Amino acid sequence: MTDLPKEFVDRIQQDPFVPEQLLESLNQSAPTSVRLHPQRKSFFENTTPVPWNTYGYYLPERPSFTYDPLFHAGAYYPQEAGSMYLEQVLQTLDLPEHPVILDLSAAPGGKSTLIAGFLQHRGVLIANEINRSRAYILSENLSKWGYSNVFVCNHKPSELSALSGQLDVLVIDAPCSGEGMFRKDHQARTEWNLANANTCAERQTDILEEVWPLLKEGGYLIYSTCTFNPEENEQQLLSFLEDGVASRVNLPAFEGMKPDRNDSGYYFFPNQIKSEGFYIAALQKTEPNARKSKPTKAQLQTGLPTDLAQHLTFPTELQFWQEEDKVFATTTFALDFYPQIKNLKFLKTGTHVATANKKNWTPGYDIVYSLYVKWKLSVKKVELTEALQILHGESHQWVAPAGFYLIEYQDQAIAMVKQIGQRFNNMHPTEWRIRHLPK
């Protein structure tokens, strides 16, 4: 086992705020936890509820999620238990009926899927990720979560001025020195040093300054990290409080949570609470926004083509629009909001319903997981072995009428195929496929 960095150990030992036995706990196994989808079925044995999250559970051991088709169906999300406390924060806030929420550094999608479930098709969630490859993973996970009022973009914080003064909630899971990862990721130990921690703190300050104008007056900043360093945590928020531009939000406490040095937020120390290590706080913006001209709305080609509508079932609150050869669906509120920010670089816009070809329509892959818009497709039910083979990207011999089929495992859709002749073609996206099958 890689030793803890000496400078880190020295800092912790010299800080009377940090609970005793923290260093010892970092050499113990990290807990495994999952958050279930609010509207899907999954089953784990011998679980223990995460006290601060409705759908969170601790598992007795870490299974191989990769080889569980229900994981690929979006039935649950493996997530660190401390970060599931975001549900409590969101429930505490006084939000409008349709809040606009930005998850600034959203990949791989733990907090974004939680927010999408919290919204339950109200408002709009914009999930941003600066790293392009990680943004694609974020899009995959949010597509599998199935909500239509979710948009994924790929920007630096400084490039999001189109959202200026429009956010009800800004969630920042800030890039940090990752001290809370020392238990499960020993590489994090080798990469840690004081200089890097200081660089992280400087970057966090820059990010906060860049995105603070995106919040409405009365909007909320939710700030979190997976580190124990106060310079990356409560000290980042101190200037907003001292300058009188924000006020603290009182958050509910659970046994084992420790208030930070300024009573701004809470630490989840792993020797005091069942978490890897986490910090979270919330502020409400009190200063007025600078005057800004009303954002220009782009024109959208709205509506659902008649020849496509006959294939679909959907609730009346869903709205449709078309960009080039693709048709998308979202909620009425989200569709009204989207034209204001359409010029951002989006990887995902609502639910991709269909793509036009020369003679007809090809179902968009989001249809496999969508909770609200359904394509009237036939179903091929499979057991575990074939489910994993299809998720691996295999195509099989099969006698069936030609057309598109949903692949279901335990009554939940996991993939889509196209039957041609005596076999089906596997349509599961290449980058989503399981790399290796179990031996």
Catalytically annotated residues: 226
Is the CB of residue 45 less than 8 Å from the CB of residue 57?
no
Burial 31-41 (b: 16+ CB within 10 A, else e): bbbbbbbeebe
Beta strands 48-49; 56-59: pairing state? antiparallel
DSSP string, 152-181: EE---GGG-GGGTT-EEEEEEE-----GGG
Pull the structure tokens for residue 44. 């784990």
- The tokens for 213 are 């104008």
DSSP reduced 3-state for 404: strand
- The beta strands (E) that lie in 301-364 are given as 301-302, 312-313, 318-323, 326-331, 346-349, 351-356, 361-363
147 exposed, middle or buried (CB, 10 Å; 0-12, 13-18, 19+)?
buried
**What is the C-alpha to C-alpha distance for residues 35 and 61, in angstroms, rounded to an integer?**
15
Residue 403 pairs with which residues in a beta bridge? 419
Nearest 5°: phi and psi at 390? -70, -40
CA 356 to chain CA centroid, Å, is 29
Rounded Cα–Cα distance for residues 437 and 439 (Å): 6
d(CA 226, CA 280): 9
Give the DSSP letter of residue 132.
H
The C-alpha atoms of residue 191 and residue 91 are separated, in whole angstroms, by: 36
Rg of the chain, C-alpha, whole Å: 23
- DSSP-derived letter for residue 99 is -
User: Exposed, middle or buried, 135 (CB in 10 Å: 0-12/13-18/19+)?
Assistant: buried
